[in-house]
Amino acid sequence: MKQITASIITIGDELLIGQTIDTNSAFIAQELNKIGVWVKRRVAVGDNESDIWQALDDEGKNADIIIITGGLGPTADDITKPLLCKYFGGKLILNHEVLAHVTYLFEKVYRRPGPLLEANKKQAEVPDVCTVLHNARGTAPGMMFHKDGKVFFSLPGVPHEMKGLILNEIMPVIKNQFKMPAVLHRTAFTVGAGETMLAEMLKEFEPALPASIKLAYLPSYGMVKLRLTTIAVTNEAGEKEIEPYFEKLQELVMEYLVTNKDEGLENVVGDILKQKAKTMCTAESCTGGYIAHRITSVPGSSAYFLGSIISYANSVKENLLHVSPHTLSIKGAVSRETVTEMVAGALYKLKTDYALAVSGIMGPGGGSEEKPVGTVWIAAGNKEKTETTRLNLRFDRNRNIEMTATYALNFLRKFILNNP
């Protein structure tokens, strides 16, 4: 079966100068991968006609499907739509269905006073050689073109609108027009071992994999995902081939394995708490609520997460968490004793089954010879006991916060499993 390929072109000067992070390409690639389309290339170009034209030429030669995002707005620097008109040999015409939708949004949803501006009406102009794709979330419609046996999709760059078009319009079209092989991934999520250590553990496993199965190391803050991938004619055939190797992979890294699903630690901790019908809270100093943010990013987390006390200042540690002034004076805010008392205070205040506390020095300043930047104390506990651990991180402030959150969530995960 022929492998169906795709290229993604993102348009906008803001992408090239780093003013805007390109999250669109990642989302599109993930969705294409789910249905068996292989993304060959991702290209970013500025708001320049010749560069966009060249990208369309190049990617049209390289892939079966070309997805373009950006440049469809109502301002002068949004040049994608008229360029696509010229590229595909058409002319702009007013689409009355799109105009009705734009009018509805401004009058009934946005409730903007006054008549519709000409710039907004122009959003309803589309090339007469395209198929219009309904954008239920915004004013700029998606467009589909065909050229030399290839299919081109043009989407607005606003992530919320782009996602709606990908999921509701483009995925059904691709599934209908192309016959794709099955792409299967199996992911082992590990914490506590770096790439090099894991590679050493897998030094005999990896060379023994068949050519049809690939192993990828995907490191992030404090964790590494090990992903096996295979391409097969059907899902059933792919599963039959990949599962024995995935089982072996998990056995080899069991000491550091967190889950065999492609999900975050916040999901894993939440699943454990739901299974046990238990609750938790956090008491955060150096992470400033970031751990609570990660936990509450999971839908349904209200079933087990009751709240957080952000005790950034020592006065809050004393007044809300009842950390002893003597402890803070003698041992310091970043100490085993302080996080132990933070856990006790959080359990008392928020009446949960488990509590997680962190206090540290994220940098760039604030460190000392005894407690350099990157020193972090973590505590996890329940009414019966509290356990602590110390981190010695060495990164910049943002990465120190990310890694503290990851290690803290994993520390809590292990504590809950060992102290039901």
pLDDT at position 222 is 84
- Say if CB 339 and CB 408 are below 8 A apart: no
CATH 3.30.70.2860 boundaries in the chain: 182-253
DSSP 335: S
- Say if CB 120 and CB 139 are below 8 A apart: yes
pLDDT in tens, 220-243: 888 999 999 998 988 899 999 999
- Dihedral sign for Cα 389, 392, 395, 398, please: positive
- Say if CB 55 and CB 47 are below 8 A apart: no
Tokens of 129: 């050689």
pLDDT at position 112 is 83
**pTM score of the predicted model:** 0.81
Nearest alpha carbon to residue 269 among 232, 234, 297, 309:
297
Q: Which residues of the chain have pLDDT under 50?
A: none
pLDDT at position 324 is 98
pLDDT at position 359 is 98
pLDDT at position 58 is 97
Q: Which CATH architecture has domain 265-418?
A: Alpha-Beta Complex (3.90)
How far is the C-alpha of 120 from the C-alpha of 102, rounded, in Å? 8
pLDDT at position 77 is 74
Q: Which amino acid is at 180?
A: M
- Say if CB 155 and CB 69 are below 8 A apart: yes
- Dihedral sign for Cα 367, 370, 374, 379, please: negative
pLDDT at position 372 is 96
CATH 3.90.950.20 boundaries in the chain: 265-418
pLDDT at position 329 is 97
Bridge partners (DSSP) listed for residue 377: 359, 390
pLDDT at position 266 is 97
pLDDT at position 336 is 98
Please identify, in words, the CATH class of the domain defined by 182-253. alpha beta
Nearest alpha carbon to residue 402 among 255, 288, 296:
288
CATH 3.40.980.10 boundaries in the chain: 5-177
Q: Name the maximum alpha-carbon separation found in the chain.
A: 78
Number of Cβ within 10 Å of residue 324's Cβ equals 14
Q: Which CATH architecture has domain 5-177?
A: 3-Layer(aba) Sandwich (3.40)
How far is the C-alpha of 253 from the C-alpha of 246, rounded, in Å? 11
